[in-house]
Each structure stands twice: as structure tokens, then as C-alpha cells.
Amino acid sequence: MISGRYRALAVASCIVMLLVLLAGALVTNTESGRGCGDDWPLCNGKFVPAYTVESLIEYSHRAISGLAGILTLAAFLYSLIYKRYKEQLVYASSALALTVVQALMGAAAVLWPQSPAVMAIHFGISLLAFASTLLLVVWLRRFGRGEVRKANTPVPKRFYGLLLFTAIYSYIVVYLGAYIRHTDSSGGCIGWPLCNGQVVPDLEGATLAVFIHRVAAAILFFIILYVFVTIRRSGAGGEPLRVSSAWALTLVAAQVLSGAWLTLTLTNENMFIFTSLLHNLIIAGLFTMLLDMVIRSRSLSEGR
């Protein structure tokens, strides 16, 4: 049996980790990363810093990250003590380890300013940490409904390879988007779907980075569309994978549309912050969905 207290702890850690992910994006979009100066864990030499918008945003991000660390540690200890299935320990330990790495990278960014390429990795680590907490919540829900040990249609090994490739490729697309944010290159392409009024713009500077991200995102959409059609036609994995592939296709379409909306709000600072957070929220759900499909397809792969 999985206690209700453990389920509540897992849900709480997932919600707080999502807030960490969004708060980190807010820090980047509002350029509040130096809101606490070069101090860590203090903020401008104080435990409770003087009020400025930048210091409030940065310090709130630190506080939420600290709470996430406490909750993921509690979930890990609970999983370790009351371990019944390896899945719950894998997800809980991954969430804790990634949260620690994320915190250390955040501290390093304050004490020793990092390059945009490294800061983009910071977002990627946050995304993996959130995905680990959400996967734990999803597993607990399936366990409670008796779906964990329920037999499903076997999945050919090639499907597992296809889904693994899709998840890895989606992570690369996410990294490109994070790199654009940290280099303040969002304005490289004005307009959508054309870039600066051209199908293929002058490929240099910020325009090159944004155009590559757009092309990579379009390719991801067609890869997930192919995954959806292939799973529907073959019946591999049964109903669970069919439903998951439909959700993945819906989310990637929403991601493309939110990217278009993001571009159209570049000149409206307040709206741009909202659309950017929405963009991050959707990609967090999509990436986790793809990871879940990889895990489920692996467990159902023929010949294992």
C-alpha cells in the first residue's frame, strides 16, 4: 500500500518544482539574476534583503528552490524507508539529485557569472528535476488504479528507439530555446511564420539562433506526428501509448502556437513575460510526456 501522506508529499514536491522551473524563467526574462548581487545564500549581504523588484524575484526563486530541496529530500527518504517498488525510488532519487545539481549551478551562477551556454544547461537540469517529480506522481496514480502491473500490448524494440530519439531531440530543442533566452536573442526573428519577412532570413547573429530553433521545433512537430500515426496504426502498447501519443501531439501543437504568440508579443514587455512562462509550462508537460512514453515502451519492449 502507498499511503495518502506519501502521495500528498509527491504532489507537493511536483508543484513546487514546477514553480522553481517557472521562477527561473521569470528571473531570466526580467533580467533579475543579479538582483541579489554576488551574494549567496544571502541577498546583498542580508538574510531579508531591501525591497527591489529584481531582488524580490531572485530571492523568491531561491526560497522556492530551497523548499523544493526539502520536499524532494523528504520524498526520497520516504521512498528509501518504505521502498516497495524500484520505480518510486528511481524517480525520487533522480528528483533529489537533480535538485541539488540545480541549486549548485544556481549558486555558481551568482558567485561566478556563467556563459549563456552553461545557463541554458541550468534550465535543462530544472526541467529534468520537474519531470522526475511528475513521473513519480503519475506512477503513484497508476499504482493506485492498479495499472502498474496491468498487461498491455507488447511494443517492438524499434518503437522504444524511436521514442528515445524523440525525447532526446526534444531536449535539444528545449536547450536551443533556453540559449536564446540567455543570450537575449528573442528579437532575432520578427514575425511568424516568416522570419523578418523572409522564408530563409540572413543567417547571422541572433537571427541565426532563433531560426535554427524554429526549424528544430517544426521538425519536432513532424516527428511526434509520425510517432502518433505509427502507434495508432500498429496498436503497439495498447490504449496507454495511444492516449499518450495523442497528448504529445496536442502539446507539441500547443507549443508551436505558443511560440508564435511569444514572437508576436515581443514588443509588449508584460505580455511577453506571460507568453514566455506559458511556453515553458507547455514544454515541461510535453517533455515529461515523452519521457513517460519512453519508460512505458521500454517496459513493454518485445524480447526484454
So which residues are the catalytic ones?
58
On the 0-12 / 13-18 / 19+ scale of CB atoms within 10 A, 254 is: middle
Rounded-to-integer distance, Cα 13 and Cα 31, Å? 26
Rounded-to-integer distance, Cα 127 and Cα 130, Å? 5
Cell 507488447 found at: 154
- Please report which helix (H) or strand (E) contains residue 29, including its range: helix 4-29
Three-class SS of 238-266: HHHHHHHHHHHHHHHHHHHHHHHHHHHCC
Rounded-to-integer distance, Cα 103 and Cα 24, Å? 11
Rounded-to-integer distance, Cα 283 and Cα 189, Å? 20
Cell matching residue 90: 528511481
Q: What angle do CA 92, 166, 182 make, to 5 degrees?
A: 75
**Amino acid, single-letter form, for residue 98:** L
Rounded-to-integer distance, Cα 130 and Cα 289, Å? 12
Residue 12: how many CA atoms within 13 Å on its side-chain side? 16
